[in-house]
Structure 1
């Protein structure tokens, strides 16, 4: 992460400073006035009295910013408003070419400084990718954010930094195009990140995948000139608090043409490099947990391939035998993600997991239901566990909406010639996809997250930016680390 987060006991003279003020502040507090002139104090006081939420003082050599917290009904809404304030502040800092900023928390929200810094850092993310022109590769102005005094402890700042590095890893993976990140390169990149953070990676190649009879992954890969991979990530520190591991499964389709059931273009195919966002979220989460030395045993599974119509590509009407032994009639080769996930979910049984969570950009139905504002959740986990994950989603503003998995939806995936079909009816496609996955769950609680909406944005939206958002990393980190308090 190019933006450095640090702690200091005080801010130096002539430093650009940000003061977080309590909601409803209408006058300048004495401890925010500092060495301001009478005229400057009067200006800020007038702006606050006018209910301005972001007040800027330009001293030419440095700047002062005053951010008033939003008056919201829940702590989660206050937190999200602070992240968005970080985005708004970044816009002003960028315009003024500010390189370093010092944050003071004078509000009654203890972690307000961290939340503002989170919004700043997520906004500051850039994917220059493969630009070579110096004019298009302008260095970011803001390079350092320092939280002052009791705004945060050094340990809290380090944890936020580790988490944000996980988000940036996921964003970088999602934003990379197929010719720079095929299935083998994705596995190698995940392994490199593991070496950096501390988790281990075992990459299963084509012969090993064939030996495991992962019929779904192998079928989707048939049309590709490049081999599939199946990455097993593991973070198991000494003193892990959970006896049984948490297993995270991420769809790793590095590009999805739809196969022989070809997607239309440009409306559907041009952004399909993002179809491995679930796998990226798993890698980012393991990175954050390992970087922060979280005392949890967590395993990540990322089956990866691209989905193309070439060569011996699998075809509608084919019948596949999956890793679990179940047979699947292929009705549409663009319903490929569930085939990879089904093999991985069946494979997960070997770990006797406490809980399995899968993430996938799985269906357009989830996007139509929720747009980019939330992910769809479904599963067999206990209601209390589903609620804990939902609460984590609200806390980090990666919200979930739970949909049912009623028995009647099993009718949507019936096949005349196999155990089940890979395609449901025209309606409730996100539910029938999850119902398909449910058939491969055995002996453990499970939650499915369809992140197709928020995983990739075609237009910039506040601190989520444009392109890969890294959705799922902050959600899973919040949920998993909260288990330590139970």
Structure 2
């Protein structure tokens, strides 16, 4: 998708006009037939009106219900953008210009966001795409609707989400742990952040026992990718660190998953790592004046004669011993090593993202992110505000120390599962053991992958979390 400013509106450009019930559209709709048609549509309380002017289409999007709160109006416009991209593609329209007539720049921003996010497709493995490929390739916006710098930022964020979705949608036949690190390197070169990849020998020398244990059943080696954005004039003395789970495919290991409606979607179990890479892409493209580091431990989790098994005791990177009671609780094993590694940066804040538990998905479904942590109330509230702003909402769970009691082992320092209850929280408490700094855990198991199309989130990888992290970090960069 190409999102760019436009300086001149010509008579043959397809248009989307954003207005209210009392907005005058006279500069664009002049014939008596069109005026009458629009008036009748308004009487019928229609919020989207399409007018065929023969040389172009004019689509009118009306702001719905002025009594709604602003965040709901904004989200309605994102959804409206998704509906409009369907109509645009049905009419084989390649480019559209979005014009705001309300004077509120957040309205066209949201509509363009919905247009672009809804227009995403993953067609890499289709041999014939002529009938399925979307026609819409370009969105133009005048400078008086969205300022050029904000439009460029929106374009970069859309590309960041697209990159994240592409990674999540890739199958293991392509996206091994090694290939994931290569894709992140490519994103870094394109956006401007640096990457360093630890291969298996380095990981072994560091004794990252959690990552190596999960990898024991695989024919492919693990990787540990470090992403760094450190501009000369960064304003934070201590870095923000983003950590993402990179299980490129999860069979459950010896604790094997069922296939239907479970293992068959487990190519998405690296969505945390993909989201971190996408957020780093957006941060670097925007040149935010922050020092930000991304960590992505990666492997697949497969059963084999050499796989780790229930009952094993694993010595982690920081020396902690963990009794494995379920090999399908593997994400926390690789994340624990990454979180321990993050201590070396003396971070201001660490945010962990992972498709970690079915418990989180069961609790709130696909409509939000389960969040918890020990960071300050101010920081958690700021992150939740960002979630509300971009509609990547966070449902905060309790994080009481009582839950850590459920992880006590008779033969090791910890066990890797807490039992039947509070699975999302005990997973978070397991991770907290390896921190020692301000920490927030985001469980994205519910919204990271859609089995059917869900508005502008689409079908397949959603990219949920990229816009949340960017908005949060942008706010942090401007509040100092």
Task: Give the structure 1 partner of residue 310 of structure 2.
Answer: 316
Q: Does 2:14 match 1:19?
A: no
Equivalent position to 1:56, from 45, 50, 53: 50
Counterpart CA distance in 2 for 1:252 and 1:32 is 53
Alpha-carbon contact 2:103-2:145 (below 8 Å) kept: no
2:357 to 363, 367, 372: 363
Structure 2 gaps of 5+ residues are none
Of 68, 72, 76, 2:71 maps to: 76
Alignment of 1:400-439 (within 5 A): 400-439=394-433
C-alpha displacement of 1:311:
2.9
Decide which of 246, 249, 267 is 1:273's aligned counterpart. 267
Q: Please give the alpha-carbon distance, in whole angstroms, between the structure 2 residues aligned to 1:477 and 1:259.
A: 34
Aligned to 1:445: 438
Measured in 1, the distance between the counterparts of 2:188 and 2:453 equals: 30
SS for the counterpart of 1:180 is coil
Deviation at 1:30, TM superposition (A): 3.1
Could you give the per-residue CA deviations for residues 271-312 of structure 1, whole angstroms, max 9, x where no partner exists?
A: 000000000000000011111211111000000000001131
Q: 1:454 aligns with which of 444, 447, 450?
A: 447
CA shift, 1:73, in A, is 3.1
Write the deviation string for residues 329-375 of structure 1: whole angstroms up to 9, x where unpaired. Answer: 00000000000111100100000100000000000000000100011
Report whether the alignment pairs 1:232 with 2:230.
no
CA displacement at 1:33 relative to structure 2: 4.3
Q: Please say if residues 251 and 279 of structure 1, whose CA atoms lie closer than 8 Å, have aligned partners that are also in contact.
A: yes
Deviation at 1:109, TM superposition (A): 2.3
1:46-71 residue CA offsets vs partner (Å, 9 max, x unmatched): 21122110011012321111101123
SS in 1 for 2:264: coil
Paired residue for 2:92, among 94, 97, 100? 97
TM-score (norm 1): 0.96
The answer as to whether partners of 2:231 and 2:291 remain within 8 angstroms in 1 is yes
Tell me how far apart the structure 1 counterparts of residues 182 and 321 of structure 2 sit (CA, whole Å): 31
1:208-357 equivalent positions in 2, closer than 5 A: 208-357=202-351
Q: Name 1:169's counterpart in structure 2.
A: 163
1:87 partnered with 2:103: no
Q: How many Å apart are 1:423 and its aligned residue?
A: 0.7
Q: What is the total number of aligned residue pairs between the two structures?
A: 478
**1:279, 1:60 → 2: CA distance?**
47
- Per-residue deviation at 1:263? 0.2
Say whether 1:484 aligns with 2:477.
yes
Aligned to 1:183: 177
Offset of residue 267 of structure 1 = 2.3
SS in 1 for 2:353: strand
Question: How much does 1:149 deviate?
Answer: 4.0
Structure 2 equivalent of residue 110 of structure 1: 105
For structure 1, the residue ranges without an aligned partner over 5 or more in a row are none
Residue 110 (structure 1) shift: 2.1
Give the Å deviation of 1:237.
1.1
Matched residue SS, 1:70:
coil
- What is the CA distance between 1:35 and its match in structure 2? 4.9
- The TM-score with structure 2 as length reference comes to 0.98
Offset of residue 32 of structure 1: 4.3
Aligned-pair Cα RMSD in Å = 1.2
CA contact (8 A) 1:393 1:400 kept: yes
For residues 144-182 of structure 1, the C-alpha deviation after alignment (integer angstroms, 9 at most, x for no partner) is 111124111211111101111111110000000001000
CA contact (8 A) 2:123 2:129 kept: no
Whether contact under 8 Å (1:374, 1:400) holds in the other structure is yes
Measure how far apart 1:108 and its partner are. 4.1
Residue 31 of structure 1 and its aligned partner are, at CA, apart by 4.4
CA distance in structure 2 between the partners assigned to 1:318 and 1:68 by the alignment: 61
CA distance in 1 between partners of 2:116 and 2:469 (Å): 19
